[in-house]
A = this chain, B = another copy of it.
Amino acid sequence: MKDFSFYNPTKIIFGRNSLKSISNELKERGYKKIFLTFGKGSLKNSFLYKAVKFELSEFESLEFWGIEPNPRVETIRKALEEAKNFNPDIVLAIGGGSVIDGSKLLVGSYYSDIDPWELVLDFSKVTKVLPLACILTVAATGTEMDSFAVITNWAKNEKKAFGDVRVNPIFSILNPEFTFSLSAEQTAYGIVDIYSHVCEQYFNTTKFAPIQDRFSESILNTLIEYGPQLLKDLKNYDLRSIIMWSSTMALNGIIGAGVNQDWATHGIEHEISAFYDIPHGAGLAIITPRWMKEVKKQKHDKLVQYGKRVWKLEGDNETIVSQSIELTFKFFKDLGVKMNLKEWEIDKSYFPVMIKRLVKEGVGEFPLSKEQIENILINSIN
């Protein structure tokens, strides 16, 4: 195990009645003016929207609508202007990972005169942060209990992440019912995203971290067991709650404490969705098994452990490795996800610039070579 520090001060309020506590959570912190952030409008006729307005009826609030999937810095600049005019005590993000991630940049930029994109590139320039809370409507990114956000700059075809514990939500309302209306497709992308977050932390070569390994395997096994059940029964509270809690546990720092992490798959996916506006989970499903194949020498022992413990494979190690990669591919495919870039009408046009950037940035526990990145991308086409 490596030296590490772990600090996650987000309060999670989970369950059917979780929204009812929001008024107390705000009052006991003395917050009176709430800036509400939303996605592109799908919530406007929902029960959730009405319930939120009801619970916040004693507070002064202003709504900002329009944070899109793969949230754009351009949109956050607009939100920032409205928020500064309103002068809120707190931002309450209501939505999925994109709305919350966008709102993390909003609270980080609020007290600053520096352009938000510059802060994405170097968040240490932020001196003070406005408090953030959230009501989660998609189980996927883990942003409800972490310090990270991913922002797209469409003008530059760039998609970048930043992380700072000051943007952790102070509290997050997690009611699995608020994810009932997600389609099977959206739900599947969430499951892939969670699975990928675990893989990014699990496929390390750090020795003597059995708690982290087994916790990771716990989440993967849970996704494999309950994910497909959920896709057949989208309004099942128990299944929604299992996937929602998996999402939070996958990226709140617990499984990644004290181990090397990889994040090459995310790095490559961010490049793809910086050029093509495809869902994050869609890109991850395609890249993950190709990435596994490409690093199977470097990550050999962990892939064997993965095959044995997660997929219950037996036999010689080489067979276990190749079967476990095939089973990962099949798991994603059976969730109904497109398993190659061609189906998204993506060809190799932008590969050279993506590869150049990724090599420069350095992605992976042992940074991937130019050739490895190229192989992963080329193998992802068909």
Residues of B within 8 A of A245 (CB): 1, 211, 257-258
Q: Scan residues 1-30 of chain A and give those whose CB is less than 8 A from a CB of chain B.
A: 1-18, 21
Task: Decide if A249 is an interface residue (CB 8 Å cutoff).
Answer: yes
Q: A214 near B210 (CB under 8 angstroms)? A: no
Task: Decide if A225 is an interface residue (CB 8 Å cutoff).
Answer: yes
Q: A208 near B5 (CB under 8 angstroms)? A: no
Residues of B within 8 A of A254 (CB): 249, 254
Task: Decide if A75 is an interface residue (CB 8 Å cutoff).
Answer: no
- Stretch from A216-224, A290-298, A350-358 at the B interface: A216-224
Evaluate whether A17 and B5 lie within 8 angstroms (CB atoms) in the complex, with A211-B242, A218-B215, A238-B208 already known: no
Q: B12 near A3 (CB under 8 angstroms)? A: no
Residues of B within 8 A of A123 (CB): none
Evaluate whether A222 and B218 lie within 8 angstroms (CB atoms) in the complex, with A3-B14, A9-B9, A17-B3 already known: no
Task: Decide if A241 is an interface residue (CB 8 Å cutoff).
Answer: yes
Q: Scan residues 159-216 of chain A and give those whose CB is less than 8 A from a CB of chain B.
A: 207-211, 214-215
What is the CA–CA distance of A219 and B254 in the complex, to the nearest angstrom? 13
Evaluate whether A211 and B207 lie within 8 angstroms (CB atoms) in the complex, with A1-B245, A8-B8, A241-B1 already known: no
Q: A1 near B242 (CB under 8 angstroms)? A: yes
Expressed in whole angstroms, the minimum distance between the Cβ of A54 and any Cβ of chain B is: 19
Task: Decide if A246 is an interface residue (CB 8 Å cutoff).
Answer: yes
Kindly report how many copies of this chain are found in the complex they form together: 2
What is the CA–CA distance of A257 and B13 in the complex, to the nearest angstrom? 11
Expressed in whole angstroms, the minimum distance between the Cβ of A250 and any Cβ of chain B is: 10
What is the CA–CA distance of A285 and B317 in the complex, to the nearest angstrom? 39
Residues of B within 8 A of A6 (CB): 11-12, 14
Q: B211 near A222 (CB under 8 angstroms)? A: yes
Residues of B within 8 A of A17 (CB): 3
Task: Decide if A226 is an interface residue (CB 8 Å cutoff).
Answer: yes
- Give the size category of A's interface with B: 35 or more
Q: A222 near B226 (CB under 8 angstroms)? A: no
0/1 per residue, A89-120, Cβ < 8 Å to B?
00000000000000000000000000000000
Expressed in whole angstroms, the minimum distance between the Cβ of A217 and any Cβ of chain B is: 8
Expressed in whole angstroms, the minimum distance between the Cβ of A337 and any Cβ of chain B is: 22
Expressed in whole angstroms, the minimum distance between the Cβ of A381 and any Cβ of chain B is: 36
- Of the candidates B11, B209, B241, which one forms a contact with A5 in the assembled complex, judged by CB atoms under 8 Å apart? B11
What is the CA–CA distance of A241 and B14 in the complex, to the nearest angstrom? 31
- Of the candidates B15, B208, B242, which one forms a contact with A210 in the assembled complex, judged by CB atoms under 8 Å apart? B242
Residues of B within 8 A of A11 (CB): 5-7
Expressed in whole angstroms, the minimum distance between the Cβ of A216 and any Cβ of chain B is: 9
Evaluate whether A208 and B258 lie within 8 angstroms (CB atoms) in the complex, with A15-B3, A16-B3 already known: no
- Of the candidates B14, B222, B246, B258, which one forms a contact with A14 in the assembled complex, judged by CB atoms under 8 Å apart? B258
Closest to A219 in B: B211
What is the CA–CA distance of A285 and B217 in the complex, to the nearest angstrom? 29
What is the CA–CA distance of A238 and B258 in the complex, to the nearest angstrom? 12
Q: B5 near A238 (CB under 8 angstroms)? A: no
Residues of B within 8 A of A222 (CB): 210-211, 214
What is the CA–CA distance of A32 and B19 in the complex, to the nearest angstrom? 41
Q: List 21 A-B contacts (CB under 8 A).
A: A1-B15, A1-B238, A4-B12, A4-B14, A5-B11, A6-B14, A7-B11, A8-B8, A14-B257, A15-B258, A208-B238, A208-B239, A209-B242, A210-B222, A210-B226, A211-B219, A211-B222, A214-B221, A214-B222, A249-B254, A254-B254
